[in-house]
Structure 1
Amino acid sequence: MSIDKPAISNVTPSGLLADALQYTIDAGQRSILFLDVMRRRGAQYREHLAETVPHVLDYGVELIVDGRNLERPVNYGLVRVTPPSGIEIDLKRRPFVVVDPRAGHGPGIGGFKADSEIGVAMKAGHPCYFVGFMPEPMPGQTIEDIARAEAVFLERVIALHPEADGRPCVIGNCQAGWAIMILASLRPELFGPIIVAGAPLSYWAGVRGQNPMRYSGGLLGGSWLAALTSDLGGGKFDGAWLVQNFENMNPANTLWTKQYNVFSKVDTEAERYLEFERWWGGHVNLNAEEIQFIVDELFIGNKLATGRIKTSDGAVVDLRKIRSPIVVFCSKGDNITPPQQALGWILDLYEDVDEIRAYGQTIVYTVHETVGHLGIFVSGGVARKEHAEFSSNIDLIDVLPPGLYEATFEEKAADTANPDLASGRWIMRCEKRSLDDIRAMGVNNLEDERRFATAARVSEINLSAYRKLVQPWVKAMVTPQMAEWMRQMHPLRVQYEVLGGQNPVSKAIEGTADKIRENRKPTAVGNPFLAFQETISKNIVTALDRWRDAQEALSETMFLSVYGSPALQAALGIDPNADPSPKPEMSRDHRKLLDARIAELKSRIASGGLRECVIRGLLYVGSSRGMVDERSLEALRRARADDSGARLTLAEFKSMVREQFFMLLLEPEASLAAIPKMLPRNADARRAGLAVIRDVLSASAAISGETARRLSQIVALFGVPEKDEPHPQAKAS
């Protein structure tokens, strides 16, 4: 591979020699300073692990519930986050609960810094709580135990906020995303809006040629390796192996870029690097039962998205039972949870958007173009934009009519209409989408689905064979001392420990680094040797990326070839003509409830008064735009605030919106025809209702085209000409 050398012109031999000497001194100093950063990293690692409950939260906390004291003890806990100085919390606003992922690292990433999920929620005035965990699991702890503990946590949060305007908004990052989705399907009454960020929910989904992590289970022969690793750990699975999997996905960053970035910018980059490494190196353990459930039921079995997981008491985990709005935040730059895995569950469960509505579900998704997996819940830029908008507009999301939407964000400009109706720099819109929009991101064909089903069947066979033939011998051989020694000798731990102790080498590095800082001589920006260093670095990254791409292509080819074998599929009983993961059918009970609800709504089409008419009119006219803008909700909120009548709670308002939406969906002509009979006789009240409709519609865009035509229909149904002067506010809240 050739190296593109930077052009060097107008350089004299003496000048080049001076540049070389300057660069040599600088590079030598940076090398010692880099080693000192590694020394500090090791010392920080030891200090972090010595803490009773190590975390990286940037806020003060107060323990509310200790999961170790529950009937089924778990190593999880609920804490209340103390708002920093200058932040005012409104106790009537719904609380936010951030649940951190237990994917090998310690807790705290959701509140890693001021610009974080917790930070932006508190800036929006919401009380905040955090669900974290300790490094060691409780004996016998299972995933189901954790779910039940988190239900207790949410019950406590609800009890602490009796005047809140809604159930808690729960944020689940990465692995915590599927955990809260499982709980929300079992205990839907505990949840307000749910935000799942970078959470893999449909593990088989993907696109050929991209993100081959989904093939790893099949290439390793299934989950037997997880069982072996847990047995070698004395019944515990070392989370460092999960972190190792993440690092293996980007060898250029793991082996070179992360360290080189510190080396090349050692005067400015050290603190940021150490801050992140404090979390990245805080490895935690899982019980064997926990990791086996995760791998068998989710990673390889893909049972969550298809409703095939059952609890110990026989309850089926069916994501269609979730009654709260679900916000899915994913990114095209995420190679751990690509958009297909974050959104594929929607295609696994529903035939079309009408079926989503039949379950009363509201699903909102947003797809970032570039941010990586960790950036979804770590990046300050993402927190200030997407998470800040979700926090500020959580009520908008909560009152959206059932259906599928994409959240888009537009930066305010000089010509933005009514900018005062939107907080912050961005304007959030929820635009209607269909399942074809999800399919357009890429889906498996039936042949690929059968390949994954074959891999799952092989995993079951290999795990059974391991448990019968090998596991008893491994368990008998491994002692607690041997298991602990193996954990300590994990390569990821060794790299932190090597310079972390008080040994002569570390002390020499520290002393030399202190002297160098006193006489620091950085290279001038235009030094050609510095440019040459950058060129070498870029070529190393290119070489490692090519090696990764070749490995990934080989992995995909092997998986497709091995598990696509008709002979293997036939031997394992995979039907070549059947869908291996068919959509679960609607249950008889739900069908009966749905039919009864439809009949009830149809019978009440002509019931109600001005409020119902205003909401019905808004929904009818606004639906022509195919989107809902946060400015429209703010205009409606202000109308509600000025209403002199009995105010509806947010839950009551949400219920009214849904009822009017379904009435229009079921019987559009009858719903419109009933408006004149429902309206009060008072002409001023009717005009005020029309004023609210017009104000809300014009808050986000000019009223024109189909929107103007529909508004004319509503004006005619209200039966009064609108006046030019301002009108009293309607009691439409």
Structure 2
Amino acid sequence: MTARQPTAVTSTAEAPSPAATALAGFLPPVPPTAIAHAAWEYGLDAWQRSILFLDILRQRGNETAEHERGGMPPVLVFDYEVLIDGRDLPTPVNYALVRIVPPEGQPTDPAKRPFVVMDPRAGHGPGIGGFKSDSEIGNALRSGHPCYFITFFRDPCPGQTIEDVARTEGLFLQAVAERHPDAPGKPFVVGNCQAGWALLMLAAAAPEVTGPILLAGAPVAYWSGVRGKNPMRYSGGLLGGTWLASLAADLGNGRFDGAWLVQNFEKLDPANTFWSKLYNVYAKADTEGPRFLEFERWWGGHFLMNRGEIDWIVQNLFVGNHLTAGEVRSNDGKTVIDLRNVRSPVIVFASWGDNITPPQQALNWIPDLYANVDEIVANDQTIVYCLHPSIGHLGIFVSGSVANKEHSELFCALDLIDVLPPGLYEAKIDDIAPGTSHKDLIEGRYMVRFERRTIDDILALDDGRDDELPFQVVRRVAEINQHLYDTFASPFLRAMSNESMAEVIRAVHPTRLERSLEGDTNPWMQWVSAMAPAVREARQPVSPDNPFLAMQTAISDQIVRSLDLYRDMRDAWQEQAFSSIYATPWLPALFGMKVDTERAESPAVSALRTEVAELRRREALSRIGEGTLVDGFLRILAYVTAGKSAIEERPFNLLRKLAVENPPDERFTLAEFKDAVRRQSYVVSLDPEAALRTLPQLVPDMKERRRVMVLAHRVLTVGGPLEGEWMERYRKVADVMGTDHGKATREADADAKT
């Protein structure tokens, strides 16, 4: 249902309806004085807006009830078909794999890399990744990629665990890959918010099932944040740990109500929760209804978890922070989740305006795992991050501007990201400057480049990590309180709990109650549904320069400032209270524990990693004179550009164009190209002089050497002519290859013109 546009009743072009005429009979006449006229005009408008506002809330209540009666399906705007229902598997879980049906006139190419979007199960239902056309799913479809979505249902299957869910998601990704055998790589998977850490764990436990993965607003380093800015991380300590989540699940007859998580999110911004969101609907009651109802359909859908699931999440991740320490194990204890095992590129998208998952929580897992970039390279891992300057947490998934820029451009550059040499990069997305050369090699509406970064660059985003030390004490306190609760309280609550009582508790939760009381089931709302059509017929909007409207705006701004002040004072008090309890020496001493200032890997594991890296180094150097024509070509590029701070898309897109022009027997797949890039970039980084000296062995034929040099020059000069150190390196290559670099340059220029 959508709100109608305002119509004036003062026009003589057409007669008002009988309802409008009857309503106008109750309106007072226009007073003669200006201020009285302004007051009358504003009062009429405010009264009408109040009716329209209540009617929008009534529609929200009705849509929520209808959504629940329909089984709470995903709020996708795209048609879809269910491929695999996890509830029918031998180990049932409440997840399903669906194929997004492309809109009419927008076919997808089955030979392109498939996209899979995973939404968070963090209180709300699925669909935020595709509830608008300008979204992650929408961008994938517009690019011609087959798109899939991993959805879930309101009620968990009895006994399902986080590990069961991960195994099922792995089966889903395998099924997607099998449906696209001609795709250039494994599925690209997007994990939104809490689906991000689940995806990262899956990629570490089963690296063979995923292609590049995008973690959008996903918390991974749960203790991280900036002093004075990220108060949510203190909640676990101030509430005494994880036992409250277990209590809520026990009262829910073994199932945790996601409405509690939604309420925690809303408490972060009381000005928006208690005033701004609803005031914006009231102030724009003629036009704001559709947008408000569209979002609230997702925001008001609350899903459930088993107690075992919520216990695992809060104890292992949010309070325990065991993931980056390599302390998360499978249920049988045989599999350790080590994030270093992820073989596909990891893309992290975070925002400075996100107060739920700040950039530190999204990125600090990298310095937790690696002391420097050399270790990332030695582990053959590629990590890319992109930071938005201002968008909020939900905007990462639902903002049209983010979907059309950051998500769209990262999707376009996906193949380039997949073949980036191992290392750490920051993605920069800029407007295309006037005079930019080779615009035909830029796929999207922006220029994308990947600048090399170091671990120090990640640490510089934080204000220091000493503030994370007290969370070790929080973890210990949480373990003690959890044990006490499980021993003395939980058995009694489980014995008394039943499904009828659990349903009543869920029904009276404030986030549900406010919607159920607004719908047509509430007899007090009947008069709103009867009066709203007449109000729309007789609508008389206030003039924009009305002084009382300005007064309304000023009062609203003051209320927002007051609530923001309350929020700031509350957050400051919570941070101070947390520090006064957990940052003092007496509490860890009381528990007989020592706060570790550094995370130390076990000597055995560290020695094993060193040995593996040394073996890889020796193997690479032992085969430095072996390779194909493609290896030789890429070694030239790697040697000339060694130390370059940025890699952009134009050279890569030219390489793809040149590859298509090759004879069929000389063409190579994206996977072969990726392997060659990694081999040659690693060899050049280990011993650049030996790599240069053995280069002729890779291209023994002089005719092929000249051709390779021409192609290399053409690629190297896409962004401008060769100068300085690059020119010196190119001349060295030409000397070693026995070719005339001047002639190669002229031939490359002529080749480019044709």
TM-score bracket, shorter-length normalisation = over 0.9
Q: Please name the residue that 2:222 is paired with.
A: 203
Paired residue secondary structure (1:625)? coil
Deviation at 1:301, TM superposition (A): 0.4
Q: Please name the residue that 2:590 is paired with.
A: 571
User: 1:539 and 1:702 mapped to 2: Cα distance?
Assistant: 58
Q: Please name the residue that 2:417 is paired with.
A: 397
Q: Please name the residue that 1:155 is paired with.
A: 174
Pick aligned residue for 1:432 from 434, 452, 456:
452
Matched, 1:442 2:462: yes
Q: Please name the residue that 2:24 is paired with.
A: none
Deviation at 1:54, TM superposition (A): 1.5
Deviation at 1:726, TM superposition (A): 5.2
Deviation at 1:528, TM superposition (A): 1.5
Pick aligned residue for 2:160 from 141, 144, 153:
141
Whether the aligned pair in 2 keeps the contact of 1:686 and 1:718 (CA below 8 Å) is yes
Rate the CA distance shift 1:265–1:493 in 2: closer, same or farther, 3 A.
same
Whether the aligned pair in 1 keeps the contact of 2:710 and 2:747 (CA below 8 Å) is no
User: 1:469 and 1:714 mapped to 2: Cα distance?
Assistant: 75
User: 2:556 and 2:600 mapped to 1: Cα distance?
Assistant: 49
How many corresponding residue pairs?
Answer: 716
State the AA in 1 paired with 2:111.
K
State the AA in 2 paired with 1:383.
A
Paired residue secondary structure (2:368)? helix
Q: Please name the residue that 1:423 is paired with.
A: 443
1:659-670 equivalences under 5 Å are 659-670=679-690
User: 1:686 and 1:231 mapped to 2: Cα distance?
Assistant: 72
Q: Please name the residue that 2:105 is paired with.
A: 86
Q: Please name the residue that 1:6 is paired with.
A: none
The one-character-per-residue Cα deviations of 1:401-458 (angstroms, maximum 9, x if unpaired) are 0000000001113222221111221111111000111111115434x33310000000
Rate the CA distance shift 1:701–1:290 in 2: closer, same or farther, 3 A.
farther
Matched, 1:658 2:670: no
Matched, 1:112 2:131: yes
Deviation at 1:15, TM superposition (A): 1.7
Rate the CA distance shift 1:426–1:602 in 2: closer, same or farther, 3 A.
same
Rate the CA distance shift 1:729–1:637 in 2: closer, same or farther, 3 A.
farther
The one-character-per-residue Cα deviations of 1:606-631 (angstroms, maximum 9, x if unpaired) are 11243212101111222343111011
Q: Please name the residue that 1:269 is paired with.
A: 288
Q: Please name the residue that 1:377 is paired with.
A: 397
Whether the aligned pair in 2 keeps the contact of 1:331 and 1:370 (CA below 8 Å) is yes
Pick aligned residue for 2:373 from 353, 376, 380:
353
Matched, 1:307 2:326: yes
User: 1:126 and 1:426 mapped to 2: Cα distance?
Assistant: 20
Pick aligned residue for 1:297 from 312, 316, 341:
316
Unpaired runs of 5+ in structure 1?
1-11
Q: Please name the residue that 1:182 is paired with.
A: 201
1:512-551 equivalences under 5 Å are 512-551=531-570
User: 1:437 and 1:138 mapped to 2: Cα distance?
Assistant: 44
State the AA in 2 paired with 1:437.
D
Whether the aligned pair in 2 keeps the contact of 1:453 and 1:574 (CA below 8 Å) is no
The one-character-per-residue Cα deviations of 1:361-381 (angstroms, maximum 9, x if unpaired) are 000001100000011111111
State the AA in 2 paired with 1:382.
V
Whether the aligned pair in 2 keeps the contact of 1:98 and 1:118 (CA below 8 Å) is yes
Deviation at 1:37, TM superposition (A): 0.2
Pick aligned residue for 1:214 from 204, 208, 233:
233
Rate the CA distance shift 1:692–1:53 in 2: closer, same or farther, 3 A.
farther
User: 1:256 and 1:419 mapped to 2: Cα distance?
Assistant: 47
User: 1:211 and 1:654 mapped to 2: Cα distance?
Assistant: 39
Whether the aligned pair in 2 keeps the contact of 1:121 and 1:392 (CA below 8 Å) is no
User: 1:236 and 1:712 mapped to 2: Cα distance?
Assistant: 69
- What percent of counterpart residues are identical? 49
Matched, 1:560 2:583: no
User: 1:440 and 1:88 mapped to 2: Cα distance?
Assistant: 45
Pick aligned residue for 1:693 from 712, 727, 744:
712
Matched, 1:467 2:486: yes
User: 1:18 and 1:550 mapped to 2: Cα distance?
Assistant: 42
The one-character-per-residue Cα deviations of 1:79-118 (angstroms, maximum 9, x if unpaired) are 0111112223121111111011000001011111111101
Q: Please name the residue that 1:322 is paired with.
A: 342
User: 1:109 and 1:421 mapped to 2: Cα distance?
Assistant: 32
TM-score, with structure 1 as normaliser: 0.95
User: 2:602 and 2:233 mapped to 1: Cα distance?
Assistant: 23
Deviation at 1:123, TM superposition (A): 1.4
Matched, 1:484 2:503: yes
Deviation at 1:688, TM superposition (A): 2.5
The one-character-per-residue Cα deviations of 1:271-293 (angstroms, maximum 9, x if unpaired) are 00000000000100010000000
Pick aligned residue for 1:678 from 692, 695, 698:
698
Rate the CA distance shift 1:709–1:65 in 2: closer, same or farther, 3 A.
same
User: 2:591 and 2:751 mapped to 1: Cα distance?
Assistant: 69
User: 1:502 and 1:296 mapped to 2: Cα distance?
Assistant: 40
Whether the aligned pair in 2 keeps the contact of 1:185 and 1:322 (CA below 8 Å) is yes
Paired residue secondary structure (2:288)? helix
Deviation at 1:47, TM superposition (A): 0.7
State the AA in 1 paired with 2:474.
A
1:578-593 equivalences under 5 Å are 578-579=596-597, 581-583=599-601, 586-593=605-612
Q: Please name the residue that 1:499 is paired with.
A: 518
Whether the aligned pair in 2 keeps the contact of 1:26 and 1:522 (CA below 8 Å) is yes
State the AA in 2 paired with 1:16.
I
Paired residue secondary structure (2:631)? helix
The one-character-per-residue Cα deviations of 1:344-395 (angstroms, maximum 9, x if unpaired) are 1001111000111111100000110000001111111101001111111110
User: 1:729 and 1:61 mapped to 2: Cα distance?
Assistant: 47
Deviation at 1:266, TM superposition (A): 1.0
The one-character-per-residue Cα deviations of 1:133-164 (angstroms, maximum 9, x if unpaired) are 00000000110110010011011111111111
Whether the aligned pair in 1 keeps the contact of 2:450 and 2:648 (CA below 8 Å) is yes
Matched, 1:363 2:379: no
The one-character-per-residue Cα deviations of 1:217-252 (angstroms, maximum 9, x if unpaired) are 000000011111111111010000000000000000
Whether the aligned pair in 2 keeps the contact of 1:356 and 1:402 (CA below 8 Å) is yes
User: 1:363 and 1:304 mapped to 2: Cα distance?
Assistant: 17
Unpaired runs of 5+ in structure 2?
1-30
User: 2:678 and 2:32 mapped to 1: Cα distance?
Assistant: 79
State the AA in 1 paired with 2:566.
W
- Greater shift, 23-32 or 669-678, is seen at 669-678
User: 2:392 and 2:720 mapped to 1: Cα distance?
Assistant: 34
The one-character-per-residue Cα deviations of 1:20-55 (angstroms, maximum 9, x if unpaired) are 111111111000000000000000001111113521
User: 1:299 and 1:58 mapped to 2: Cα distance?
Assistant: 32
Pick aligned residue for 2:359 from 339, 348, 351:
339
